[in-house]
Amino acid sequence: MATREPVTVIGLGAMGSAMAGAFLAAGHPTTVWNRTPSRADALVARGATLAASPAEALAAAGVTVLSLVDYQAMYDILGTTDPAALDGRVLVNLSSDSPERLREAARWAAGHGAELLTGGIMVPPPGIGQPGAYTFYSGQKAALEAHRATLEVLSRVDHIGTDPGLAMLYYQAMLHIFWSTLTSYFHAAALLGTAGTGPAALRPYVDGMLADLASEGPMGFLGIVTREIEEGVYPGGENNLHMQAVGAEHIVHAFRDAGIDTGTATALRRLFAAADAAGHGADGLTSVIEVIKKPV
């Protein structure tokens, strides 16, 4: 235990408890603090030290990991301590909030003599410390490197820049893809369900589509659209946006006729129609990004 860096975890919800447990399992002397002290009972039984106050928690280690509902919770907890308690400390905040709130927090921490590393951890609590887990970090790289070995207990460490808001931009971009993809699957399953077809019949086709999208083959559209976005050129060819805007209208009709929610389909139709109206009808689907960047 003495050879491992001491670490403090503030916030013992499902994620914070999983992180504190991972540190303990890896042999790190781990101090914890939570508004409801009883949340720490299982961790204390495993060897964690329960701090009596946030100031005591900060004093126990050079690096403090925060897992809270948002960044306001950090102010509510640490703002009540003696400002000197933050001086020289590295705060690693893995809570969710807006990118601008993260930038404000970095300035707040610096004003108290602390270094803030912001992060977006890309796994649910059971994935902490498991293969494939990774976290986007932003902030000063020197501070991150000083504690990299400790943070790698939780996940792979991906430093993406010094802008404190960048980690949350990446995190929210990935969540948007994750949520919208799965929600589309829910809608598709509900649509087929109106005809008495279960999702098990749909899944093989979805599996194939997702694999094709990420492939380097002719159906590898993720690579294709990435190049088109980088180059700002959106060839329509025989599958132009206008045709797809018409198809999006048909999907809305299908959902409405089936008696299921049309909100997502309607939003997609409106986006395609806006790009078509903006003069991109003869371009490819990727041209929709121009309307996303500059909504009409």
The pTM assigned to this predicted structure is 0.92
Residue 1 confidence (pLDDT): 45
The CATH superfamily label for domain 7-161 reads: NAD(P)-binding Rossmann-like Domain (3.40.50.720)
Q: What percent of the chain has pLDDT over 90?
A: 95
Domain pair 7-161 / 170-293, same fold:
no
- The three-state secondary structure class of 220 is coil
Q: Model confidence over 185-243: pLDDT tens digits?
A: 999 999 999 999 999 999 999 999 999 999 998 889 999 999 999 999 999 987 899 99
Domain 170-293: assigned CATH number: 1.10.1040.10
Q: Model confidence over 258-294: pLDDT tens digits?
A: 999 999 999 999 999 999 999 999 999 999 999 999 9
- Measure the CA–CA gap between 75 and 105, rounded to whole angstroms: 9
- Rounded to an integer, what is the distance from CA 164 to the centroid of its chain? 15
Q: Model confidence over 31-58: pLDDT tens digits?
A: 999 999 999 999 999 999 999 999 999 9
Break the chain into its structural domains and give their ranges: 7-161, 170-293
Long-range contacts of 83-88 (CB under 8 A, 24+ apart): 83/112, 83/113, 85/54, 85/55, 85/58, 85/59, 86/58, 86/112, 86/113, 86/114, 87/112, 87/113, 87/114, 88/62, 88/113, 88/114
